Amino acid sequence: MVHYIIRRLLLMIIILFLVSIIVFALVNILPGDPAVLLLGQEATPQALAALRDQLGLNDPLYIQYIHWIINVLHGNLGYSLSDHSPVLNILLQKIPVTLELTIISFIIALLIAIPVGILSATRKGSIWDYISTFGALSGISIPAFWLGILLIYFFSVKLGWFPPSGYVSPFRHFGQSIFLMILPAFSLGITLSAELTRMLRSSLLEVLQADFIRTGYAKGLLKYAVVFKHALKNALIPVLTVSGLQLATFFGGAVITETIFAIPGIGQLIINAILSRDFPVVQGTVLFMAFAVICINFLVDITYSLLDPRIKLGEVSK
């Protein structure tokens, strides 16, 4: 077990290293001279040259990379080109916002996926199954931004139940914070729930065929007891695994949703940073996102391997 964890850890480090190289390479090909962007108006050529020196822009790329990576390891992600505040601080301000959106979206997704997945698996071939399959495929196909716009139109413009955009920190006002998140979390959650429903349905179908279930039937347990006590627990594991792995795609969806609903999270941050050519922010944010995905995948892997051997006999130890 430990051996496995160590191997995964080593792999994770290698991947992180490669990720950092990719991020660095990407951003440093971005057009625009950071010195000019920083000093802006009427800076003298001498001032520009001095700043370039200071920023290390004249060094060969690999040396710049080494400087950067050492800084990163010390927690210094650079400074934003527009207001010189530390990138790390900006990230720390915005991450909780996206985190809140993520959590609520996941809750909504699970609230939809679990009942629908169960219904369609237990009534395979029926009209429910057909509806849920169709619904799931629709959910995956619907563009997140269209869904967001439609939700705004119906629930905000037409019905007036929700404001069309806005954000309040949960520390300032918890209830209002959640309230404002409902529409955006819904638009993200639906796409996510489609994926989860499909996953749950197929894994539940598989599990229901398994031997231990038949043993349960033989013992005379009611069908529903069987489903909920044993099958569900086991079917949920791959679903949760997939949820974790969905994180990467989720960040992409968050970029768009945060833009539509004016939520100041890291999705909106990266869009603004890309549009304003704020390289350090782009670098730092992309690095963080990849890092988060890698860590979550790592945790999911470990968790899955911990749970896996115990699944055989339907006893999932808590």
Partner 1 sequence: MTKLKTFYIPVLISIISIILLSACGNTQSQNTAQAKTNKNTLIIGLDSDPPQLDPQLSTTLVDRQVDQSLYNTLIDVNSNLQFVPGLATSWKVSSDEKMYTFHLRQGVTFQDGTPFNAEAVKFNLERILNPKTGSPSLSEISSIDSIKIIDDHSLQIHLKEPYAPFLSVLTDRTGMMLSPTAVKKEGKNFANHPVGTGPYKFVSRIKQESITVKRYDHYWGKKPKIKTVIYKPYTDGTTRVTNLESGNVDIINQMDYKDIDRLKHDPNITLSIKDALGFQGIMLNTKVKPLNNLKIRQAINIAIDRKAISKVVYHNGVTPAVNPFPTASWAHPTDLKVPKANIAKAKSLIKESGVTNTSFTLKITNDPQAKQLGQMLQYMLQKIGIKINLEMVEFGTLISQENSHQYQAVFQGWSGRIDPDGNSYSWFTSKGSLNNMGYSNTKVDQLLSEARSVSNQTERKALYDQTSKILWHDSPYIFLFYLKDFKAMKNDLQGFNHVPDTLIRTDTLSFK
Partner 2 sequence: MQQATFNQSPAQSKTTRPFLKLYRAAFSRLWQNKLGTAGGVFLLLLIIAAIFAPYIAPFDPSKQDYSAVLQGPSAQHWLGTDDLGRDSLSRIIYGARVSLKAGIISVGIALIIGVPIGLLSGYLKGLWDELIIMRITDAMLSFPPLVLALTLAAVLGAGLSNAMLAIGLVFTPNFIRLVRGQVLSQREREYVEATRSSGISHFRIIVHHILPNSLAPILVQATLSVASAILSEASLSYLGLGTQPPTPSWGAMLSEAQGYLEQDPLLAVWPGLFIFLIVISINFFGDAVRDMLDPKLK
For partner 2, which is the closer residue by CB, 221 or 296? 296
200 belongs to the binding site for partner 2 (CB under 8 A): no
Q: What is the DSSP letter of 86?
A: B
Between the CA of residue 91 and those of 48, 140, 151, 277, 280, what are the distances in Å?
A: 28, 29, 29, 17, 11
The region of 1-9, 10-18, 108-116, 175-183 touching partner 2 under the rule CB under 8 A is 10-18
- The site map against partner 2 for 215-254 (x = CB under 8 A) is ---------------------------------xxxxxx-
Q: Which of partner 1, partner 2, none does 185 bind, CB closer than 5 to 8 A by kind?
A: none
Instruction: Out of 57, 271, 302, 311, point to the residue binding partner 2 (CB under 8 A).
Output: 271
C-alpha 231, offset from chain centre: 27
67 belongs to the binding site for partner 1 (CB under 8 A): no
Give the HSE-up count for residue 20: Cα atoms under 13 Å, Cβ half-sphere.
17
φ/ψ of 227, rounded to 5, equals: -55, -55
**Residues between 156 and 195 with contacts to partner 1, criterion CB under 8 A:** 156, 160-166, 173-180, 182
Q: Which of partner 1, partner 2, none does 22 bind, CB closer than 5 to 8 A by kind?
A: partner 2
Residue in 129, 152, 115, 120 with CA at minimum distance from that of residue 263:
152
6 belongs to the binding site for partner 2 (CB under 8 A): no
Rounded to an integer, what distance in angstroms lies between the CA atom of residue 262 and that of residue 152? 12
* Cα distance from N-terminal residue to C-terminal residue, the chain: 18
- Least Å distance, CB 155 to partner 1, is 10
Rounded to an integer, what distance in angstroms lies between the CA atom of residue 111 and that of residue 121? 16
Between the CA of residue 82 and those of 36, 161, 289, what are the distances in Å?
A: 12, 37, 21
For partner 1, which is the closer residue by CB, 43 or 88? 43
- Least Å distance, CB 184 to partner 2, is 14
Rounded to an integer, what distance in angstroms lies between the CA atom of residue 280 and that of residue 86? 9
The region of 66-74, 117-125, 136-144, 309-317 touching partner 2 under the rule CB under 8 A is 136-144
For partner 2, which is the closer residue by CB, 46 or 141? 141
Q: What is the DSSP letter of 166?
A: -
293 belongs to the binding site for partner 2 (CB under 8 A): yes
Contacts with 91 (C-beta within 8 Å, 6 or more apart), sequence order: 77, 266, 269, 284, 285, 288
82 belongs to the binding site for partner 1 (CB under 8 A): yes
Residues 261/147, Cβ–Cβ less than 8 Å: no
- The site map against partner 1 for 105-144 (x = CB under 8 A) is --x---x--xx-----------------------------
Q: What is the DSSP letter of 263?
A: -
Rounded to an integer, what distance in angstroms lies between the CA atom of residue 143 and that of residue 135? 14
Q: Which of partner 2, partner 1, none does 42 bind, CB closer than 5 to 8 A by kind?
A: partner 1
9 belongs to the binding site for partner 2 (CB under 8 A): no
Both tokens of residue 41?
Answer: 């108006």
C-alpha 187, offset from chain centre: 14
Cα angle for residues 311, 316, 318 (degrees, 5° grid): 150
Which residues of the chain form contacts with partner 2 (CB under 8 A)?
11, 14-15, 18-19, 22, 26-27, 29-31, 134, 137-138, 140-146, 149-150, 152-153, 157, 202, 248-253, 255-256, 259-260, 270-271, 274-275, 277, 282, 286, 289-290, 293-294, 297
Which residues of the chain form contacts with partner 1 (CB under 8 A)?
36-37, 40-43, 80, 82-85, 90, 93, 107, 111, 114-115, 156, 160-166, 173-180, 182, 222, 224-225, 228, 262, 264, 268-269, 272, 275-277
